[in-house]
Amino acid sequence: MTVLPTPRGPLSEAVIAALRDGPAEELPDSRAVGAAAPYGDDLQLALYVLYELHYRGFDSVPDDLEWHPGLLAVRRDLEHVFLAALRADTPRGRSAERALDELLVEPVDHTGSVSHHLAQDGELWQMREYVMLRSLYHLKEADPHVWVVPRLRGRAKAAMVAIEYDEFGAGRADRIHAQLFADLMNDLDLDTDYGRYLDRAPAEALVIVNLMSLFGLHRSLRGALVGHFAAVETTSSPGSRRLAAAMRRLEAGAAAEHFYAEHVEADAVHEQVVRHEVVAGLLADEPSLDADIAFGADATGFVEDRLGEHLLAAWGEGRSALYESGVAAARSSA
């Protein structure tokens, strides 16, 4: 478990207070939620905190609040705003095949690529910031994808479980990918406690984790979760190769390099399995989910690009990309 974070606005303040002190009679209503910026710090932190109740929870927060009706109603309103923004900001009418095919073609212009920057010019402090922020994702990386398993059948289910078996270390605790990432963090002298860097993560990093939680927790979004999973596996191998090279260039340590080197080959195999078995199997069973799979893949690229832009903009100015409480008011309305 972890401690509750510092609020970043009225929504997150109300949610965190409800978890700390017990739900009040009046929680944020749909009008208050609807007025918030969908990708802003306040809404995204409130949503992150509510989603965390379905993972490991927080210190001193009762487990039964996971299913508190009032908190679920707030989460529903937060999700509605978030999902509506995602649908508005991603293409419509695309097939899963087209969305995933585009991920196989890397842009000629690498100026917007974090992995290219870190491999070629990145400094150790920038790599440490990148790892701090990605820890929110990688220390729970495979967990939300498991929620889709009971919603699949046949080829799709068998292939999904096979890939997840690898993600969870193939039966070995020391090989669980989340543990390998913790080993990477140790090499960089970072705190490996789960959720340790939540207070330092800007909204752009929270959105990435919230996206997979949103897709994972809703049966109606099972196609989008498969699209998310396919996008991650498709893009992982080349990016991991560059990040392994960056760790080697920066002399970050053997475990730091190994985490990404491990993903180069493994995810190249996973990409084929997820395309030809998970996605194809799901479409054979439920062809109506084609557009949802494309949406999941496109939304994944969209939120990852937003984090990349944030990181490179900050680093390009020689400043930290981590969240600072002093800019909460400006960012929560952005």
* All structural domains of the chain with their residue ranges: 10-88, 94-332
Sign of the torsion angle spanned by Cα atoms 201, 205, 208, 210: positive
pTM of the predicted model, to two decimals?
0.93
Mean pLDDT over each residue of the chain, to the nearest integer: 92
The pLDDT tens digits of the residues spanning 60-114 come to 899 999 999 999 999 999 999 999 999 999 999 899 999 998 988 777 666 779 9
Question: What pLDDT was estimated at residue 128?
Answer: 97
Query: pLDDT band for position 271 (50/70/90)?
Result: confident
CB atoms inside a 10 Å sphere around CB 308: 16
**Helices 203-217, 69-89: inter-axial angle, 10-degree rounding:** 110
Of 44-58, 103-117, 227-241, highest mean pLDDT: 44-58
The pLDDT tens digits of the residues spanning 201-222 come to 999 999 999 999 999 999 999 9
How far apart CA 272 and CA 236 sit, in angstroms, is: 12
DSSP letters for 142-200: THHHHTTGGG--HHHHHHHHHHHHHHTGGG-GGG-HHHHHHHHHHHTT---STTTTGGG
Answer yes or no: are the C-beta atoms of 135 and 185 closer than 8 Å. yes
Question: What pLDDT was estimated at residue 179?
Answer: 94
Query: pLDDT band for position 333 (50/70/90)?
Result: very low
24 conformational bin, left if phi > 0, alpha if psi -120 to 50, beta if neither: beta
Determine the residue type at 262.
E
> Per-residue pLDDT for 260 more than 80?
yes
> Per-residue pLDDT for 1 more than 90?
no
Q: For the stretch 277-304, what's the b/e string if a residue is b when 16 or more beta carbons lie within 10 angstroms of its beta carbon?
A: bbbbbbbeebeebbbbbbbbbbbbbbbb
Judge residue 150's burial from the number of C-beta atoms within 10 Å of its C-beta, 0-12 exposed, 13-18 middle, 19 or more buried.
exposed
Which of the listed CATH numbers 2.40.37.10, 1.20.1250.20, 1.20.910.10, 3.40.1280.10 matches domain 94-332? 1.20.910.10
Question: What pLDDT was estimated at residue 43?
Answer: 98
State the first-to-last Cα distance of the chain, in angstroms, to the nearest integer.
30
Mean pLDDT of 110-138: 93
Name the more confident of 270 and 164. Answer: 164
